[in-house]
């Protein structure tokens, strides 16, 4: 039975690889938010560009804007603009300016941005720094990453923040598809497989702070918050990236059915976690989607992690169009923020919509970017206003440019149709 299933998955993977090889990197055609699964970008290679479709910007204008933002965030002024810092002749890191450290979140985002923009040198530099200083190569944590380090590479915390691993795997798989595999640590597919194997090869679950556990709860098929102790008893809605798991289900060498089940579980969690009226999700949740209290004061509310849920829902819709819920959710979410005032809504709320931050001063670029991405799955006429906000807001500078800047850059790529599957 297992052998038969493995043969089926192998055959399915071969068919998918043929589909992948039809993809091209070019300016995108527009796609209706109300598309059916067979017309989703994964199958057609056609990605919507809302800057051209809704704002009338030319492809050359869009390309220039993206390149300008990349140049500033990666090669701008050392003190006020850049977040990407080369080290020696072949490494680099993405720096969290506010906290003066390096995080797997930022490194994986930087690698994803690099592969989407065909920046192979920057990708390889970031990956070598990550591999050298952040990834464990032995013991319980073998294959996992220390979630943050000092800029000299010394480890601050050896535990893992599970979203970093998810983005590393997907960035490596896309790099393998776009550029092919090299040798050693530049065999991108082999490196991705190593992490995928590690995610499911630890202890199933434990409340001991000294026992490292699986990155995904095997009963729930859901990614955990941190794979150790009580931190593996809950999740983070913004860690739910079912469109990534769809790729893993096709491209992993071994655990295809688990990832396929994980796709379903992740989409279900996103639905359960979103407030029925506002569409807002909490920073952390139980595996049944109810808000999780007791860690990181206020994590039961819509805060900084939860900004990214809109991106994940919308990109799942663009890549795979799994159902009408994604459209309804993005419509609901954008209506909430539109009603708050399109130009000055705050950045933190209770799930039922009570503000927890001031307007104007707390109108954050990162949240503006994520809401613009939600427009990819929205059918509201005023989705154009959210896209316009992203187009007009400046590239983040200054002390808080790291998180806002990474989300801004991802938002530009996604809204412009340049966040693609490569194989």
Annotated catalytic residues are 105, 305
Token pair in block for residue 40: 């989703």
Residue found under tokens 């819920």: 325
Cα gap 72→80, rounded to integer Å:
10
**CA dihedral in degrees (123, 129, 130, 136; nearest 10)?**
150
User: Cβ atoms within 10 A of the Cβ of 180, count?
Assistant: 11
Q: What are the distances in angstroms from CA 67 to CA 117, 267, 397?
A: 9, 33, 16
Contact 203, 46 (CB under 8 A): no
Cα gap 113→175, rounded to integer Å:
11
Token pair in block for residue 77: 């002024």
Phi, psi at 183, each rounded to 5°: -110, 165
**CA dihedral in degrees (226, 229, 235, 241; nearest 10)?**
40
147-151 contacts at long range (C-beta below 8 A, 24 or more positions apart): 147/103, 147/104, 147/105, 147/226, 148/96, 148/99, 148/101, 148/102, 148/103, 148/104, 149/101, 149/102, 150/101, 150/102, 151/85, 151/93, 151/95, 151/100, 151/101, 151/102
Contact 401, 83 (CB under 8 A): yes
């Amino acid at each position: 039975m297992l052998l038969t299933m493995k043969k089926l998955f192998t055959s399915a993977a071969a068919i998918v690889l043929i589909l992948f090889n039809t993809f091209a990197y070019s300016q995108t055609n527009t796609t209706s938010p109300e598309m059916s699964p067979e017309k989703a970008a994964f199958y057609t290679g056609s990605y919507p560009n809302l800057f051209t479709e809704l704002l009338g910007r030319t492809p050359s204008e869009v390309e220039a804007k993206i390149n300008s933002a990349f140049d500033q965030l990666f090669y701008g002024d050392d003190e006020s603009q850049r977040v990407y810092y080369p080290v020696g002749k072949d490494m680099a890191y993405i720096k969290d300016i506010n906290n003066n450290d390096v995080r797997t979140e930022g490194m994986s985002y930087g690698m994803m941005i690099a592969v989407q923009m065909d920046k192979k040198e920057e990708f390889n530099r970031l990956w070598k720094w990550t591999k050298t200083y952040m990834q464990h190569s032995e013991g319980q944590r073998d294959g996992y990453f220390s979630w943050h380090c000092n800029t000299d590479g010394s480890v601050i915390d050896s535990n893992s923040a599970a979203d970093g691993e998810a983005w590393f795997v997907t960035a490596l798989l896309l790099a393998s598809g776009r550029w092919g595999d090299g040798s050693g640590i530049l065999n991108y597919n082999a490196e991705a497989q190593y992490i995928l194997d590690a995610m499911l090869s630890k202890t199933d679950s434990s409340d001991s702070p000294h026992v490292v556990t699986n990155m995904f709860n095997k009963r729930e098929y859901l990614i955990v918050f941190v794979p150790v102790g009580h931190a593996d008893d809950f999740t983070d809605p913004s860690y739910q990236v079912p469109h990534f798991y769809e790729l893993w289900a096709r491209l992993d060498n071994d655990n295809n059915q688990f990832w396929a089940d994980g796709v379903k579980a992740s989409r279900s969690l996103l639905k359960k976690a979103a407030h029925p009226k506002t569409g807002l999700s909490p920073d952390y949740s139980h595996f049944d989607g109810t808000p999780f209290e007791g860690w990181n004061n206020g994590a039961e509310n819509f805060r900084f992690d939860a900004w990214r849920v809109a991106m994940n829902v919308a990109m799942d819709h663009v890549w795979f169009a799994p159902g009408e819920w994604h459209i309804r959710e993005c419509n609901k979410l954008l209506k909430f923020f539109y009603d708050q005032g399109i130009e000055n809504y705050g950045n933190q709320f209770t799930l039922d919509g009570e503000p927890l931050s001031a307007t104007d001063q707390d109108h954050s670029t990162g949240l503006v970017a994520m809401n613009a991405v939600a427009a990819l799955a929205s059918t509201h006429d005023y989705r154009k206003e959210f896209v316009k906000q992203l187009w007009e807001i400046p590239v983040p500078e200054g002390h808080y440019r790291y998180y806002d800047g990474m989300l801004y850059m991802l938002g530009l790529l996604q809204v412009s149709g340049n966040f693609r599957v490569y194989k």
